A = this chain, B = another copy of it.
């Protein structure tokens, strides 16, 4: 355990204090940085003590960190990431389980577990973090925070450790929408871009079907309120209508993104692990067994399927359209409960069926902390077209703000 004893949130790897580089729209805001993003002079651990010890400290901040410092924000901490960011549960063998402030006996979700905990426990206004398979959206949902995964490659990844280059994104977790919006607009490099209002709101039926009953009901209530807010109706749509041919939502993950992600992870972290034979934490080493055995040739056809799904979904999602669904199908699992294969599958499979939709379509997704089930938070997600990140932020403000 490396968590400083003085941090009851369990989020901090290291307290830091980087002053703003100049004034700007983020004046007065404090942020933390996930431990796979470079801070000059501090070792980046990637959630792995072995990685940390094998690599020198960077002399430059990641460019996205400098963007935030250059817009007036102050960096106050380096925070816990799941080991190699290859997890959605937020229980680190080495760095512990950051505290889920709204459901303390449950996991915070991962891999941006420390990012979520640092914000939800009041250490920072927002956190700079990363999302490939759901690493921002899942902790946003399970901890009751705002989170955004932008369109693929909208934000510079210079100084962010390579993970899954065709899927990885840099984004933000925040406690308030206006903070999320301000930080994302800085990172998106489009402070003055004009935006329009949403005209068409679609509810993705397939995601509702996967969700727990109570989540589904709560989502229905929240969407009724949103529809009333903006004076429109909400249409229900099936994934096969979006794609324009018979298919299932879980094709995005099972027959597409999952294999691409595994193959890409082999090429980034996998090569290093095979050459260095580092100590691996228990949970990660279980997951890595699958990575090791994976036959890359299986990924080639799935890459073409991902490209096809990307094109089909993008041909459907017009510039005035927002698609919504529960961010995760369930509330957070109890801490320590993901200790059987069945429990792991029950958590990951339906979760990734939903998160892979924006992933395969390379679309921006905002997770909003709008639902409560059994006293625990669940997110409601909004997705817009490719590179329509600014439109999405504006649409969410109009619908929910």
8 Å CB interface, A66-83 against B: 66-67, 70
**Chain B residues positioned under 8 Å from A156 (CB to CB):** 165-166, 260, 264, 303
Q: In the bound complex, do residue A67 and residue B271 qualify as a contact, i.e. CB atoms below 8 Å apart?
A: no
A299 at the interface (CB under 8 A from B): yes
A252 to B254, CA, bound (A): 41
CB within 8 A of A270: which of B60, B162, B193, B266?
B60
Residue in chain B with minimal CB distance to A261: B158
**Chain B residues positioned under 8 Å from A276 (CB to CB):** 56
Q: In the bound complex, do residue B296 and residue A189 qualify as a contact, i.e. CB atoms below 8 Å apart?
A: no
Q: In the bound complex, do residue B267 and residue A58 qualify as a contact, i.e. CB atoms below 8 Å apart?
A: yes
A57 with B275: in contact, given A67-B303, A296-B63 (CB under 8 Å)? yes
Segment with Cβ contacts to B, from A87-95, A224-232, A280-288, A304-312: A304-312
A173 at the interface (CB under 8 A from B): no
A267 to B153, CA, bound (A): 16
How many interface residues does chain A have, given as a range?
Answer: 35 or more
A62 at the interface (CB under 8 A from B): yes
A191 to B156, CA, bound (A): 29
A157 at the interface (CB under 8 A from B): yes
A297 to B22, CA, bound (A): 9
CB within 8 A of A66: which of B61, B158, B165, B297?
B297
Question: Which residues of A are in contact with B by a Cβ distance under 8 Å?
Answer: 21-22, 38, 56-63, 66-67, 70, 152-153, 156-160, 162, 164-166, 188-191, 193, 260, 263-264, 266-268, 270-271, 274-276, 296-297, 299-300, 303-304, 306-308, 311
